[in-house]
């Protein structure tokens, strides 16, 4: 009885009694949701174009952020450091496609997936070897990112909007819009969608698979750098950050592996869901710390009803 | 292609075997392995600690020719804060150079695994400011030491600090902790002291995977509105927590971290936003001590340290150095007691029970005012050391309080109880009686 | 020449379908067993047994468990670490409740608990496959990790949240706890691994194993031919988790001596997956080879690389850098093997064996 009350009545009482807290929670959920979407987008891009489930996306986020901070520490101005980091990510994309993926063309998906786990290992250890393992501060102010905050008084309390969070949401939205434009309006983008539809057919009309793959891996690198900067501005640049990127997996399951809108909607659902659940149900009933598995369990339950995700393509299997 | 690879690997293996030359044995040596973690999620803490530890001992080698005439050999072994690698390090190094004298695992997980091994291999374990609190009871844990204070002693000191700064009666204390054994350790003490001191406490666990995504946790903090926050955090959790606290406008001077949540590496990413944040500490800050000057002169300036000169004197560097001081003092005590230059692990255990680090001795070794005096004994493997509180001024740590001794009368029975429980679960556990 | 099988006639169907049809193979197996049971404990020192051989055996067992699921049934799992944890905690609780029962019984019994949990988290595999399944097994991993911390009953309300292995005797010998000698613990691990490998090889070549492989090769076709996916998939999850659970119990009781939740984190799931990939998907021999390479190679690199670099080049590297280098080498090996020999070391061995059979006249 007490438990039922805790589940069905008390959370809503708290929501009504403290409207500012509810709004703040929704805002926090929105911000982390956009960041999850951004990381998930990196996965979707690569999966669509090459059928590779890129497990290394998480470490690419850390690697990009580390490279940026490391290059800046050499005395390079912040914006030039960003450009150089993009160069590093391009080089990384080229190397991965050339050395790892090209020899693995036509192998089963599981082999490709496992090869990205190998890449993850190399990047984690290599990153620590080059940049050192100790956490570093993100160069937030040098990049011109805002740091202050604004208040909004509501219902006897305040909702605090961090400017960096607003900037993060805006930048993420801009990047997603930019990528959408790129894929819909440019020649490369159209070629990419052709590859996503059918590798063989795309090859037969003269599209270079290798070039397209380098482009998507680079695009995923850009997404990783952005996600790395924005997330590290909230804490710091350290290797523990790559675990956060695993959160993108349930987002993908919710949205479907091949759908860009799916990644966005899935990210927002997870972002809102885990914050609300932990605050109103997880902490009072289960003792907190539910954020680590909530997204995954939601994805698991969801999968039982809709195995192809919200926007994914329905699988039709033949013998 | 594969054939070449296989052949190449075989050749490499052969060369490697040929290179495995045995290290020439010196006359009298003291072998002190250093379990370090310069990689992995907690590398930011592991590096400075290992540097401080190695540099002090190397300084003794350079300046005095070792300890009591015997050269010190420090060998690092990488654990990556991983219990399995830690055990492997232990097994690999314990027999080197006539035997390791003492292990400082720098990880509660590794410590727990070494505690049962210590009496069997006769190598003491010194977990300085971490590990199993109950190990402070020397009668029950003859081979394990946790100078200068256990987590429970530390928590009692922190609570006293709160009491002294505005009273604790009727207040609500928030306790944010890393959701592993280390973070949960002080909970029994909070439960015990809450009715006694008249405060209420709420726990906020942070999972290891959520260290850098604490949004929901701090929303809960905002909902609960505690008067004070106490943090048992480590690694990337600390800067994130402080940034999130600043975000919800939690007053920084009401936020106290434990001694693992108060390093330069924790606050430098936060910078100005963390101004006013408090943390406890037991090893002095800065390089204004003769011993540290000697370290700089004999080791760092000669390029024999892995640390940058700027990092000498920072909180965790000094903690590693203080660990080396305790080890060195214990070695001296053991040498005095046995009359031998090269001692064994069992002698070292005696030394760790016998050494005295009082004000006079601290002054002698050039660390006056660095830390609270420690009095070791057979019964008390904790030394009931006092802590002090330091405050972040936006760019550096400043010591702001006098030494706060722990509430031994409350902590000791709890420690005793926990030690009894541990021993009861083990069959054939060896205890000792202290005359 | 070395593997000449001329003159070895098979007169019965049993002889033809035997596990090791070639006489030399039988000889090798008996030789290995003799080395494993007699020579290694006799000559090996404590470090070799305690820090190399025991972990190697534990990981071999876990790799067999994962290989049953991934290599033979085609379901990828990243929950191995958590299933090992279920076994370890189950064994701990049972031996605390009944201290007088032989610990070896509990080590096997703990696998049953793990199998039940594994079957539960295997349920989604009936609806989904491939990468979606990766996510659900990762869900199992994270949820169980959380449960290991949040249910204090599991670690007997220990203040540190850790389980400490109590001292237990079996057949009058101390087998667990710090006083147990490395030789005894090694022999027990080896015996468990040998028995369970033999058992696995029989399941795999039997009806159940064949239905697993049909599911792996094409599940719809298998279903049309009368293999029930429910039974086949769930039995694979159950058997796989059973092996992982026993491996987890061995890991804590025979090797580590104490454990907290970090001992079962998702990194272990990856480590075991690597062993399976490198050793060879769908091969029991591969589990041994993969575990040997992934566990022993880094130990060797950590010990040997710094002195080699010191001697040959003007640079010096410390133990942390050597550790990172070994990680990089493992990553590179994974990629190289996937490109050049996706079936892993086991396939490499098969090629070598074929060469040995026909040598010196390969035509």
In chain C, residues with a C-beta closer than 8 Å to the C-beta of A118 are 331-335, 338
Cis check for the bond before B68: say yes or no (omega within 30 of 0). no
Disruptive mutation site among A231, A289, A292, A296 for chain B (greatest number of B CBs within 10 Å): A289
Cα of first residue to Cα of last residue in chain C, in angstroms, is 13
**What digits encode the pLDDT tens for the residues B309-342?**
888 888 999 999 999 999 999 998 888 888 888 8
Distance CA(C194)–CA(A104), nearest Å, equals: 36
Task: Using a CB–CB cutoff of 8 Å, tell me whether A208 touches chain B.
Answer: no
Alpha-carbon separation of residue C131 from A116, A256, A266, B239, C269 (angstroms): 13, 11, 17, 34, 15
**Residue % of chain B over a pLDDT of 70:** 94
In this prediction, residue B8 carries a pLDDT of 53
Percent of all residues in chain A with a pLDDT value above 70, rounded to a whole number: 97
Report the residue of A18, A124, A133 to disrupt the B interface, i.e. the one with the largest count of B CBs within 10 Å: A133
DSSP B145-205: E--S--HHHHHHHHHHHHHHTT--TT-EEEEEEESSHHHHTTHHHHHHHHHHHT-EEEEEE
User: Which position has the higher pLDDT, A90 or A139?
Assistant: A90
* Predicted local distance difference test score (pLDDT) of residue B20: 42
The pLDDT score that the predictor gives to residue B24 is 40
Is-contact B232 B175, C-beta < 8 A? Answer: yes
Name the closest residue on chain C to residue A121, using Cα atoms.
C331
The B residues from 151 to 180 touching C (CB cutoff 8 Å) are 179-180
Q: Across chain B, what does the average pLDDT equal?
A: 84
Facing residue for C319 by CB, picked from B76, B182, B208: B76
Query: In whole angstroms, what separates CA B73 from the centre of its chain?
Result: 21
Percent of residues, chain A, with pLDDT higher than 90: 8
Model pLDDT for residues C111-137, shown as the tens digit of each residue? 999 999 999 988 888 877 777 788 888
B353/B322 Cα distance (integer angstroms)? 17
Across residues A108-124, what is the average pLDDT? Answer: 86
Q: Residues near B297 by Cβ (< 8 Å), separated by ≥ 6?
A: none
User: Using a CB-CB distance cutoff of 8 angstroms, which residues of chain C are in contact with residue A113?
Assistant: 76, 131, 134
CB–CB of A234 and B212 under 8 A?
yes
Residue B22 pLDDT level (bands cut at 50, 70, 90): very low
pLDDT of residue A83: 93
Q: Is B301 a member of any domain?
A: yes
A98, A184, B379, C102, C359 from C171: Cα distances, Å: 59, 73, 37, 8, 49
CA distance to partner chain B, nearest, from residue C184 (Å)? 15
Separation CA A224–CA A235 (nearest Å): 16
Q: Does any domain span residue B327? A: yes
Q: Is the pLDDT of residue B18 over 60?
A: no
pLDDT at residue B137 is higher than 80: yes
B2-6, B168-172, B374-378, C72-76: segment of lowest average pLDDT: B2-6
Percent of chain C at pLDDT > 90 equals 28
Q: Of the given ranges (A83-97, B307-321, B374-388), which has the lowest mean pLDDT?
A: B374-388
C80 — pLDDT class (breaks 50, 70, 90)? very high
Q: Nearest 10 degrees: CA dihedral of C6, C12, C14, C16?
A: 30
The answer to whether the CB atoms of B113 and C160 lie below 8 A apart is no
**CB neighbour burial string for C281-297, b if at least 16 within 10 angstroms, e if fewer:** bbbbbbbbbbbbbbbeb
- The DSSP symbol for C154 reads G
Give the distance from residue C352's alpha carbon to the nearest chain B alpha carbon, in angstroms.
10
pLDDT for residue B366 is more than 50: yes
Q: Same structural domain for residues B35 and B141?
A: yes
Q: Give dist(CA B201, CA C138) in Å, integer.
A: 34
- Residue from the list C51, C96, C179 with its beta carbon closest to the beta carbon of B88: C51
Contact A173, A230 (CB under 8 A): no
| Interatomic CA distance for residues B10 and C297, integer angstroms | 12
Can you list the pairs that B18-21 forms with residues at least 24 positions away whose Cβ atoms lie under 8 Å? Answer: B19/C304, B19/C307, B19/C308, B19/C311, B20/C304, B20/C307, B21/C307
- Name residue C27's beta-bridge partners: none
Partner residue facing C262 (CB), from B134, B180, B428: B180
User: Which of C146, C280, C302 should be substituted to probe chain A, the one whose Cβ sees the most A Cβ atoms within 10 Å?
Assistant: C146
First to last CA, chain A: 52
CB–CB of C139 and A317 under 8 A? no
> pLDDT category, A317, cuts 50, 70, 90?
low
The CA distance from C107 to C95, in Å, is 9
Q: What is the pLDDT of residues B169-191, one digit of tens each?
A: 889 999 999 888 788 888 888 99
Looking at the structure, do residues B126 and B203 belong to the same domain, yes or no? Answer: no
Task: Tell me the residues of chain A between 275 and 304 that have a Cβ less than 8 Å away from chain B.
Answer: 275, 278-279, 282-283, 287-289, 291-292
Q: B114 or C131: which carries more pLDDT confidence?
A: B114
Give pLDDT, residue C296: 85
Instruction: Provide the whole-model pTM.
Output: 0.87
| A23 — pLDDT class (breaks 50, 70, 90) | confident
Q: Work out the average pLDDT over C157-165.
A: 78
Domain co-membership, B120 together with B166: no
Residue of C nearest to A113 (CA): C131
Note whether A278 contacts B213, CB cutoff 8 Å: no
Domain count, chain B: 2
- Domain hosting B89: range is 29-149+285-385
CB-based burial label for C192 (10 Å; 0-12, 13-18, 19+): buried
- For the ranges A113-122, B265-274, C4-13, C201-210, the lowest mean pLDDT is seen at C4-13
Q: Which residues of B touch A241 (CB under 8 A)?
A: 212, 236
Helices (H), chain A: 2-8, 10-17, 19-50, 57-73, 78-95, 109-131, 163-185, 187-197, 199-204, 209-234, 241-246, 248-255, 260-276, 291-305
Q: CB-based contacts of A162: which residues, under 8 Å, 6+ apart? A: A148, A149, B247
For residue A316, what pLDDT band results from cuts at 50, 70 and 90?
A: low
Comparing B73 with B435, which gets the higher pLDDT? B73
pLDDT band at residue B14 under the 50/70/90 scheme = very low
- What's the rounded mean pLDDT across residues B221-231? 90
Do B158 and B226 reside in the same domain of the chain?
A: yes
Query: Which SS3 state, helix, strand or coil, does residue A237 take?
Result: strand
What rounded mean pLDDT belongs to chain A? 83
- Name the minimum distance, in Å, from the CA of A166 to any CA of chain C: 30
pLDDT (average), residues B128-153: 86
**What topology is assigned to A2-305 in CATH?**
ABC transporter involved in vitamin B12 uptake, BtuC (1.10.3470)
A160 touches chain B (CB under 8 A): yes
Domain-embedded: residue B420: no
Q: What are the boundaries of each domain within chain A?
A: 2-305
On the question of pLDDT at B15 being above 80, the answer is no
**pLDDT class of B16 with cuts at 50, 70, 90:** very low
Interface of B with A (CB under 8 A): 38-41, 43-44, 47, 179, 203-213, 215-217, 219-220, 222-223, 235-236, 239-240, 243, 247-249, 265, 268-271
Q: Residue B26 pLDDT more than 50?
A: no
* pLDDT at residue A278 greater than cutoff 70: yes
Q: CB distance B16–C304 less than 8 Å?
A: yes
Q: Do B275 and B307 reside in the same domain of the chain?
A: no
Output the domain CATH number for residue B128: 3.40.50.2300
How high is the pLDDT of residue C58? 94
Write the DSSP assignment of B52-121 as a string of letters: HHHHHHHHHHHHHSSBTTBEEEEEEEE-TT-HHHHHHHHHHHTTGGG----B---SHHHHHHHHHHHHHH
Question: What ipTM does this complex have?
Answer: 0.83
**Are B304 and B352 in the same domain?**
yes
Gyration radius of chain A over CA positions: 21
- The model's confidence at residue A90, banded by pLDDT at 50, 70 and 90, is very high
Whether residues B269 and A137 touch (CB distance < 8 A) is answered with yes
The pLDDT value given to residue B21: 37
A15–chain B Cβ distance below 8 A for any pair: no
Question: Across chain C, what does the average pLDDT equal?
Answer: 85
pLDDT value at residue B6:
52
Confidence band (pLDDT; 50, 70, 90) for B1? Answer: very low
Q: Which residues 276-295 of C have a C-beta within 8 angstroms of A?
A: 277
Burial class of residue A78 (count of CB atoms within 10 Å of its CB; 0-12, 13-18, 19+): middle
Measured CA distances, B57 to A233, B45, B324, B339 (Å)? 39, 19, 6, 21
pLDDT-wise least confident of A144-148, B123-127, B413-417, C265-269? A144-148
* pLDDT band at residue A319 under the 50/70/90 scheme: low
pLDDT of B390 > 60? The answer is: yes
Chain C residues with CB-CB distance to B422 below 8 A:
164
Same domain, B160 and B269: yes
Domains of chain C: 36-358 (1.10.3470)
Model confidence pLDDT, tens digit, residues B235-247 = 888 888 998 898 8
Query: DSSP letters of C307-319?
Result: HHHHHHSS----H
In a domain, B166, yes or no: yes
Question: Is C124's Cβ below 8 Å from some Cβ in A?
Answer: yes
Give the mutation candidate from C165, C320, C342 for the B interface (greatest B CB count, under 10 A).
C320
Question: Which residues 6+ apart lie within 8 Å of C26 measured at CB?
Answer: C20
């Amino acid at each position: 009885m007490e438990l039922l009350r805790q589940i069905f009545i008390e959370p809503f009482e708290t929501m009504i009694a403290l409207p500012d807290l509810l709004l703040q929670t929704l805002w926090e959920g929105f911000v982390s949701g956009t960041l999850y979407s951004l990381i998930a987008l990196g996965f979707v891009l690569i999966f669509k174009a090459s059928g590779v489930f890129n497990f290394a996306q998480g470490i690419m986020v850390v690697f990009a952020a580390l490279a940026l901070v490391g290059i800046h520490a050499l005395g390079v101005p912040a914006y030039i450091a960003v450009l150089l980091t993009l160069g590093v990510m391009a080089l990384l994309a080229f190397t991965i496609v050339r050395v790892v993926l090209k020899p693995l063309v036509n192998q089963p998906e599981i082999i490709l997936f496992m090869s990205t786990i190998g890449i993850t290992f190399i990047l984690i250890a290599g990153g620590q070897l080059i940049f050192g393992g100790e956490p570093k501060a993100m160069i937030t102010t040098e990049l011109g990112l805002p740091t202050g905050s604004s208040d909004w008084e509501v219902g006897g309390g305040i909702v605090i909007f961090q400017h960096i969070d607003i900037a993060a949401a805006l930048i993420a939205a801009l990047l997603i819009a930019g990528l959408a434009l790129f894929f819909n309006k440019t020649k490369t983008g159209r070629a990419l969608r052709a590859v996503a539809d059918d590798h063989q057919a795309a090859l037969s009309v003269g599209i270079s698979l290798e070039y397209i793959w380098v482009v998507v891996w680079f695009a995923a690198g850009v997404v990783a750098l952005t996600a790395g900067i924005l997330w590290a501005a909230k804490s710091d640049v350290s290797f523990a950050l790559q675990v956060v990127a695993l959160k993108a997996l349930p987002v993908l399951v919710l949205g479907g592996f091949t759908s860009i809108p799916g990644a966005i909607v899935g990210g927002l659902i997870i972002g809102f869901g885990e914050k609300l659940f932990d605050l109103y149900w997880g902490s009072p009933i289960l003792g907190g710390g539910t954020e680590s598995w909530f997204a995954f369990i939601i994805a698991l339950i969801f999968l039982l009803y809709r195995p192809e995700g919200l926007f994914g393509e329905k699988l039709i299997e033949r013998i | 292609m594969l054939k070449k690879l296989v052949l190449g690997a075989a050749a490499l293996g052969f060369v490697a075997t040929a290179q495995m030359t045995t290290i020439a044995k010196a006359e009298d040596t003291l072998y002190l392995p250093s379990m370090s973690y310069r990689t992995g999620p907690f590398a930011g803490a592991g590096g400075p600690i290992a540097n401080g530890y190695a540099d002090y001992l190397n300084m003794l080698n350079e300046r005095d020719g070792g300890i009591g005439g015997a050269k010190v050999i420090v060998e690092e072994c990488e654990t990556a804060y991983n219990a399995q690698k830690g055990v492997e390090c232990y097994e690999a190094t314990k027999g080197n150079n006539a035997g390791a004298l003492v292990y400082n695992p720098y990880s509660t997980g590794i410590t727990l695994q070494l505690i049962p091994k210590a009496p069997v291999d006769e190598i003491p374990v010194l977990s300085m400011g971490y590990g199993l609190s109950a190990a402070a009871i020397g009668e029950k844990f003859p081979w394990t030491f946790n100078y200068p204070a256990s987590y429970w002693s530390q928590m009692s000191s922190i609570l006293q600090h709160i009491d002294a700064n505005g009273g604790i009666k009727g207040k609500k204390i928030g306790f944010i902790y890393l959701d592993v054994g280390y973070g949960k350790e002080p909970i029994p003490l909070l439960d015990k002291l809450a009715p006694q001191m008249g405060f209420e406490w709420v726990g906020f666990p942070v999972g290891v995977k959520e260290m850098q995504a604490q949004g929901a946790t701090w929303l809960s903090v905002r909902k609960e509105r505690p008067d004070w926050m106490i943090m048992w955090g480590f690694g990337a959790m600390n800067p994130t927590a402080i940034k999130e606290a600043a975000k919800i406008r939690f007053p920084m001077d009401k936020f106290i971290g434990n001694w693992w949540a108060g390093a330069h590496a924790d606050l430098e990413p936060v910078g100005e936003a963390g101004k006013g944040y408090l943390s406890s500490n037991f090893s002095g800050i800065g390089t204004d001590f003769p011993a540290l000057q000697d370290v700089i002169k004999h080791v760092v300036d000669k390029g024999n340290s892995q640390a940058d000169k700027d990092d000498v004197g920072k909180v965790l560097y000094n903690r590693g150095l203080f660990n080396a001081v305790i080890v060195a003092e214990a070695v001296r005590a053991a040498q005095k007691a046995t009359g031998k230059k090269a001692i064994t692990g069992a002698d070292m255990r005696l030394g760790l029970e016998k050494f005295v680090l009082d004000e006079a001795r601290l002054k002698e070794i050039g660390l006056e005012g660095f830390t609270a005096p420690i009095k070791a004994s057979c019964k008390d493997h904790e030394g009931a050391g006092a802590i002090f509180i330091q405050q972040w001024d936006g760019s550096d740590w400043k010591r702001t309080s006098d030494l706060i001794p722990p509430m031994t009368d409350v902590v000791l029975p709890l420690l005793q109880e926990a030690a009894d429980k541990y021993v009861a679960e083990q069959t054939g556990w060896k205890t000792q009686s202290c005359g | 020449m070395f593997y000449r099988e001329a003159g070895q006639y098979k007169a019965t169907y049993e002889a033809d379908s035997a596990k090791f049809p070639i006489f030399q193979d039988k000889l090798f197996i008996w030789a290995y067993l003799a080395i494993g049971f007699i020579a290694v404990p006799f000559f090996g020192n404590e470090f070799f047994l305690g820090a190399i051989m025991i972990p190697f055996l534990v990981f071999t067992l876990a790799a067999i468990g994962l290989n049953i699921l991934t290599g033979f049934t085609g379901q990828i799992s990243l929950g191995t670490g958590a299933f090992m944890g279920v076994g370890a905690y189950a064994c701990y609780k049972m031996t605390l409740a009944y201290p007088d029962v032989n610990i070896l019984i509990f080590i096997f019994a703990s696998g049953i608990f793990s199998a039940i949990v594994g079957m539960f988290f295997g349920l989604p595999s009936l609806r989904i496959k491939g990468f979606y399944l990766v996510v659900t097994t990762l869900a199992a991993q994270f949820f169980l990790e959380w449960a290991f911390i949040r249910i204090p009953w599991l670690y007997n309300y220990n203040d540190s949240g850790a389980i400490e292995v109590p001292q237990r005797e079996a057949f009058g010998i101390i087998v667990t706890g710090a006083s147990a000698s490395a030789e005894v613990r090694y022999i027990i691990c080896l015996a468990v691994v040998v028995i369970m490998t033999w058992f696995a090889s029989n399941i795999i070549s039997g009806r159940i194993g064949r239905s697993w492989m049909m599911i792996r090769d094409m599940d719809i076709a298998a279903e049309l031919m009368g293999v029930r996916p429910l039974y086949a998939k769930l039995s694979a999850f159950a058997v796989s988790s059973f092996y992982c659970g026993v491996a987890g119990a061995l890991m804590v009781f025979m090797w580590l001596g104490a454990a907290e939740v970090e001992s079962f984190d998702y990194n272990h799931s990856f480590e075991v997956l690597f062993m399976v990939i490198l050793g060879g998907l769908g091969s029991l021999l591969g589990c041994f080879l993969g575990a040997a390479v992934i566990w022993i190679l880094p130990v060797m690199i950590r010990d040997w690389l710094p002195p080699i670099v010191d001697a040959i080049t003007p640079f010096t590297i410390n133990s942390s850098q050597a550790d990172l280098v070994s990680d990089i080498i493992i990553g590179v090996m994974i990629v190289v093997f996937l490109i050049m020999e996706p079936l892993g070391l086991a396939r490499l061995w098969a090629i070598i064996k074929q060469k040995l059979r026909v040598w010196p006249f390969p035509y």
